[in-house]
C-alpha cells in the first residue's frame, strides 16, 4: 500500500473555513524504521506522539462548518509539522521524559529524508488548499495533555493561541468563549503565541489570513460523542467571532 503523508476531506465544500490538524495521528511510516520508532505502544499512545482526540474534533468541526479538512498522517515524533524547517525541536530525541530510540542517532541526512517524505508534502498540500480561496480562514485544531510529568494539572478546557497584530479573530473567540460559564479559557495557555515557521506562521500570518489555533484538553475529547459535541458547540462560536470582527 502506498504511503500518503496527509489526508484531505470535503474539498468540494464551498466554504471559506479550512480546518487543519497537524498532530492528527501517531503513525510511523513504513519507510521509518520499518514503521516503528522503538517505543512501546503505551508511549506511542501518549501526547508525545500525537494530539489525542484532535483529529476527531477536527472532522466534527469541519462537518459542522461544511468546511474542507487536512490532517497529517505521521507522528510528531517522526517529524513535527508544527515547527519551522530549521527549528531544533523539529525532530525530538527526548520528549516529556521519554527518550525516542528511533531518533537517538538521527543525523542531518535522516532529518532531510523525513522532510521530503512527510513534512514538505503535507505543507505543500495545506498551502495549496489555503490558497484555493482569497478569503480562507484557517482553523488549526490541537489538543493538550491535562498534565505534564512533574508539573501541576492544567485547569483550562480550551486554549486559544495567538500573536498580534493579526489576532482579531482569536481575541473575538476568547471573548465569546469566556461567556460560556462552564468553560475555563486559556488566553495563550497552555502555550503562548506562534513561533517562526510553524503552521500558523507559514500559512496564515505570512499570507495575512484570518485564523485561530484552538487547543482542547484531551480528557474532554476522548470519545467520538465528546468530539462531535464539542464540534457542535464550537462551530457557531467561530461563526459568531467572524461576524464580530466584520469578516
Q: Which residue has the cell 466534527?
A: 60
Residue 79 · residue 90 · CB < 8 Å: yes
pLDDT band at 32 (very low <50, low <70, confident <90, very high): very high
Question: Cα(61)–Cα(202) distance, rounded to whole angstroms?
Answer: 22
Select from 58, 46, 73, 65 the least CA-distant residue to 227.
58
C-alpha pair distances (Å), 53 with each of 23, 144, 173:
10, 9, 21
Core vs surface per residue 109-131: b (16+ CB within 10 A) or e: eebeebbebbbbbbbebbeebbe
Computed over every residue of the chain, the mean pLDDT equals 96
Percent of the chain with pLDDT over 90: 91
Q: Please count the other Cβ atoms lying within 10 Å of the Cβ belonging to residue 133.
A: 15
Residue 102 · residue 91 · CB < 8 Å: no
The pLDDT tens digits of the residues spanning 124-181 come to 999 999 999 999 999 999 999 998 777 889 999 999 999 888 899 999 999 999 999 9
The pLDDT tens digits of the residues spanning 201-229 come to 999 999 999 999 999 999 999 999 999 99
pLDDT at 165: 85
Q: What is the DSSP string of 180-224?
A: -TT-PEEES-SS-S--TTSHHHHHTGGGT--EEEEEEEGGGS-SH
The pLDDT tens digits of the residues spanning 67-110 come to 999 999 999 999 999 999 999 999 999 988 889 999 999 999 99
Select from 83, 72, 61 the least CA-distant residue to 15.
61
Residue 61 · residue 87 · CB < 8 Å: no
> pTM for the whole thing?
0.96
pLDDT at 189: 95
The pLDDT tens digits of the residues spanning 182-200 come to 999 999 999 888 888 999 9
Amino acid at each position: 500500500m502506498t504511503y500518503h503523508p496527509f489526508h484531505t476531506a470535503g474539498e468540494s465544500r464551498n466554504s471559506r473555513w479550512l480546518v487543519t490538524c497537524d498532530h492528527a495521528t501517531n503513525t510511523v511510516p513504513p519507510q521509518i524504521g520499518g514503521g516503528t520508532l522503538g517505543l512501546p505502544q503505551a508511549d506511542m499512545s501518549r501526547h508525545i506522539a500525537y494530539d489525542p482526540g484532535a483529529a476527531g474534533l477536527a472532522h466534527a468541526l469541519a462537518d459542522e462548518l461544511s468546511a474542507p479538512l487536512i490532517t497529517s498522517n505521521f507522528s510528531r515524533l517522526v517529524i513535527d509539522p508544527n515547527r519551522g524547517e530549521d527549528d531544533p525541536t523539529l525532530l525530538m530525541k527526548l520528549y516529556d521524559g521519554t527518550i525516542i530510540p528511533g531518533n537517538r542517532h538521527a543525523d542531518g541526512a535522516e532529518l532531510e529524508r523525513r522532510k521530503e517524505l512527510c513534512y514538505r508534502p503535507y505543507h505543500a498540500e495545506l498551502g495549496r488548499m489555503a490558497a484555493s480561496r482569497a478569503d480562507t480562514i484557517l482553523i488549526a485544531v490541537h489538543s493538550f495533555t491535562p498534565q505534564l510529568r512533574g508539573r501541576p494539572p492544567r485547569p483550562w478546557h480550551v486554549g486559544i493561541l495567538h500573536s498580534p497584530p493579526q489576532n482579531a479573530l482569536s481575541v473575538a473567540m476568547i471573548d465569546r468563549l469566556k461567556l460560556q460559564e462552564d468553560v475555563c479559557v486559556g488566553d495563550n495557555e497552555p502555550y503562548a503565541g506562534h513561533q517562526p515557521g510553524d503552521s500558523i506562521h507559514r500559512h496564515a500570518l505570512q499570507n495575512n489570513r484570518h485564523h485561530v489555533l484552538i487547543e482542547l484538553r484531551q480528557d474532554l475529547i476522548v470519545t467520538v460523542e465528546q468530539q462531535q459535541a464539542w464540534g457542535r458547540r464550537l462551530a457557531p462560536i467561530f461563526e459568531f467571532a467572524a461576524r464580530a470582527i466584520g469578516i
